[in-house]
């Protein structure tokens, strides 16, 4: 009887058409996915599928300390080198655990810039307990201040990036801008917009109708300020956005969401007669209508590949950023080619530990502004098949759920954080692309490892996270 070929057999690599890359996290190694990949191979017999555990970020114990950008670029180089040995390669899937999910997000931006996706189809993008919003804690308590300071000291440059205290390098900033590679541009008519360079009379007559190439536009949403009247409790605010009593007066500064779109032009302004570098279009959504029209935010964010958020100071002006330094890496990764590449994947899936994950809290892994399960676990039924997975995660993901898109209420998000505008922009941009959300519950402080079955025991599948591996397999798109 013919013995099975070894995993790294050149013939198997050369014949593969679908490459699935598994990337470990901080202080990890390719062995972290050992049980995961072993289970995949033993029960997922598919010709043409090649499973590869990333090796480029575990050459030394502290290699993962040098930054997400360095690790992501190394992974991109590794994939390109492997792809050279795979003449039949047609598809790519990425599975990342913890920091590995951020490595993967950076990697696909690099791959897009290098033209990798001109011929390769992105299919599955899966993250498990990944700190998409970093691990920064607000300065509300002294312990949080100490935590943020320690992260930058202990984990070096990676710690700075995860706490949003870094400055992105030139390459990262370049990747945070869009490219026309492999994309079909769409134009959106500004039928309810007012274009700068036109008088109000012309706008009223409909002459201000414009077509905007959003792929090259900078889109910002000006949020209403969180006043004492509409602050309330975060969870109670689900019933409405800043609800007011009938006798209260409305002020313009607090009742509108203004979406500002700026795009480059090379023509002279029709109104002023002066050269204009950019044009401005504003979409105004009354605050009381945002629950109905929130898809505007999602559509514009996706079309422009990421948005910025600014908060009104309550006097019609915006709060200015506290510094004018380069943007942070995680902020850059929510715009431009990073988001273009992410949107190209057919399926995007988030696995997040509801509780007991000491490294990555639920809100960071699930890309949420809060943990909805802190209210009550009584209504959360667990799957009878995958015993650690909430039966229907989306039912616990209010307030706005439309298919696979969830959008949290931005004015109520990160209110105690000095970097609230940056975090809100990150939240909006990454939520808008749509994710299949799988919420997981392990009754152990080892939840961060259980979610990838790192130390799983095959004789105890119900206690070790093997069911999560099977769920990834069962929902894996070939």
User: Is residue 86 located within the same domain as residue 199?
Assistant: no
User: Is residue 18 located within the same domain as residue 164?
Assistant: yes
User: Is residue 140 located within the same domain as residue 218?
Assistant: no
Q: Kindly report the CATH number assigned to the domain that includes residue 30.
A: 3.40.50.1820
In a domain, 159, yes or no: yes
Confidence of residue 470 (pLDDT cuts 50, 70, 90): very high
Count CB-CB contacts under 10 A for residue 439.
25
User: Is residue 296 located within the same domain as residue 334?
Assistant: no
In a domain, 321, yes or no: no
In a domain, 243, yes or no: no
Range of the domain at 260: 187-238+248-311
User: Is residue 130 located within the same domain as residue 215?
Assistant: no
pLDDT tens digits, residue range 49-79?
999 999 999 888 788 999 999 999 999 999 9
Percent of the chain clearing pLDDT 90 (strictly above): 45
Q: How many domains does the chain have?
A: 2
Residue tagged 């990454």 (tokens)? 430
pLDDT tens digits, residue range 222-261?
988 765 444 433 332 332 233 333 333 333 444 788 888 8
Distance CA 9, CA 409 (A): 51
User: Is residue 272 located within the same domain as residue 360?
Assistant: no
User: Is residue 109 located within the same domain as residue 40?
Assistant: yes
In a domain, 372, yes or no: yes
What percent helix, strand, coil does the chain show, rounded to 5? 35, 20, 45
What is the per-residue pLDDT for 285?
85
In a domain, 2, yes or no: no
In a domain, 374, yes or no: yes
Q: Which of 311, 342, 366 is the last residue of a domain?
A: 311
User: Is residue 89 located within the same domain as residue 216?
Assistant: no
User: Is residue 259 located within the same domain as residue 284?
Assistant: yes
Q: Is the pLDDT of residue 315 over 60?
A: no
User: Is residue 85 located within the same domain as residue 202?
Assistant: no
| Distance from the first to the final alpha carbon of the chain | 30
In a domain, 405, yes or no: yes
460, 415, 421: which is closest to 320 by C-alpha?
421
User: Is residue 161 located within the same domain as residue 23?
Assistant: yes
User: Is residue 195 located within the same domain as residue 223?
Assistant: yes
C-beta of residue 409 within 8 angstroms of C-beta of residue 237: yes
Q: Is the pLDDT of residue 84 over 90?
A: yes
């Amino acid at each position: 009887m013919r013995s099975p070929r070894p995993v790294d057999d050149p013939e198997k690599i050369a014949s593969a058409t679908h490459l699935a890359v598994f990337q470990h996290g901080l202080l990890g190694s390719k062995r972290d996915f050992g049980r995961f990949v072993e289970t995949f191979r033993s029960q997922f017999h598919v010709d043409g599928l090649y499973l590869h555990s990333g090796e480029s970020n575990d050459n030394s114990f502290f290699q993962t300390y040098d930054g997400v950008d360095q690790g992501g670029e190394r992974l991109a180089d590794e994939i390109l080198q492997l792809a050279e040995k795979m003449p039949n390669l047609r598809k790519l899937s990425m599975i990342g655990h913890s920091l590995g999910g951020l490595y993967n997000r950076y990697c696909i931006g690099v791959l897009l810039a290098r033209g990798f996706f001109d011929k390769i189809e992105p299919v599955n993008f899966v993250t498990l307990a990944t700190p998409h919003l970093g691990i920064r804690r607000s300065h509300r308590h002294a312990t949080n201040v100490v935590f943020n300071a320690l992260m930058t000291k202990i984990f070096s440059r990676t710690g700075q990036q995860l706490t949003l205290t870094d400055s992105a390098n030139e390459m990262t900033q370049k990747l945070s801008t869009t490219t026309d590679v492999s994309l079909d541009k769409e134009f959106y008519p500004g039928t309810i917009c007012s274009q700068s360079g036109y008088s109000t009379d012309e706008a009223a007559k409909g002459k201000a109708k414009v077509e905007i190439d959003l792929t090259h536009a900078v889109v910002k949403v000006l949020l209403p300020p969180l006043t004492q009247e509409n602050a309330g409790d975060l969870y109670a605010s689900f019933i409405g956005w800043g609800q007011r009593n009938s006798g209260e007066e409305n002020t313009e500064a607090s009742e509108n969401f203004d979406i500002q779109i700026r795009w480059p032009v090379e023509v002279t302004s029709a109104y002023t007669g002066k050269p204009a570098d950019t044009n401005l279009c504003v979409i105004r959504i009354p605050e009381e209508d945002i629950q109905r029209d929130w898809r505007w935010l999602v559509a514009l964010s996706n079309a422009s590949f990421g948005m910025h958020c600014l908060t009104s100071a309550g006097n019609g002006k915006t709060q200015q950023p506290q510094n004018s330094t380069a943007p942070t890496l995680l902020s850059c990764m929510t715009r431009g080619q990073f988001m273009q590449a992410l949107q190209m994947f057919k399926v995007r899936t988030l696995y997040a530990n509801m509780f007991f994950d000491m490294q990555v809290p639920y809100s960071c892994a699930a890309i949420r502004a809060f943990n909805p399960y802190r209210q009550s676990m009584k209504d959360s039924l667990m799957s009878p098949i995958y015993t650690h997975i909430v039966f229907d995660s989306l039912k616990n993901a209010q307030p706005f759920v439309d298919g696979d898109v969830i959008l949290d209420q931005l004015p109520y998000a990160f209110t105690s954080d000095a970097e609230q505008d940056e975090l809100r922009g990150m939240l909006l941009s990454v939520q808008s692309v749509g994710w299949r959300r799988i919420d997981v519950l392990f009754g152990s402080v080892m939840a961060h490892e259980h979610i990838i079955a790192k130390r799983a025991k095959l004789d105890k599948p119900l206690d070790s996270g093997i069911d999560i591996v099977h769920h990834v397999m069962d929902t894996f798109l070939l």
